[in-house]
Chains A and B, each alone.
Chain A
Amino acid sequence: KNEVEQSPQNLTAQEGEFITINCSYSVGISALHWLQQHPGGGIVSLFMLSSGKKKHGRLIATINIQEKHSSLHITASHPRDSAVYICAVRILVRGLIFGTGTRLQVFP
């Protein structure tokens, strides 16, 4: 079993829909990251969380430390949001442990 599990693996949506991507992890962490990767492109950090909730534009990330669960929400989705969204956790002072990603496609 992977230490970081994401769901769904693939997601399609119509423009304007509200989107939720989930991440569960099985280890104690010091922080959780949400990352975005476009096809053929580099990785962009969206959020780093250790508790509560963060918002940036149309993106919202929440984390529940007790339940070892985080969600990434996209409001009013747009085709340019199409990308792979990756959840990654940090354990103490190690490098990140990554989930396998959620491939999102938003159609006009």
Chain B
Amino acid sequence: GAVVSQHPSWVICKSGTSVKIECRSLDFQATTMFWYRQFPKQSLMLMATSNEGSKATYEQGVEKDKFLINHASLTLSTLTVTSAHPEDSSFYICSATEPGSLLETQYFGPGTRLLVL
């Protein structure tokens, strides 16, 4: 089946630093990838939709200069949290859609837990 990986699985950083999270589709080419964030005991909130070779589309209220998304290839999308602050601490999950599948089913990565000190 379609597998999506994320790296790193967890990261601790100091306030003010930038953190890059990678999302890879391992056995299929993903034209579209999604980035979500999930606070403890809460649901997933869509942050942005990333299409290969074009600019990401951000959801309302998500700062595009804060959360930089790059989808440079059909198997890799990156999310960079710039100048991270403690309130950015969260669980970040990506998903990827397999072109041609019914409704382009989303396959989710295992998530990256970010802790900003």
> Is chain B a partner of chain A in the same complex?
no
Q: Which residues in A have some Cβ–Cβ distance to B below 8 Å?
A: none
Q: Which residues in B have some Cβ–Cβ distance to A below 8 Å?
A: none
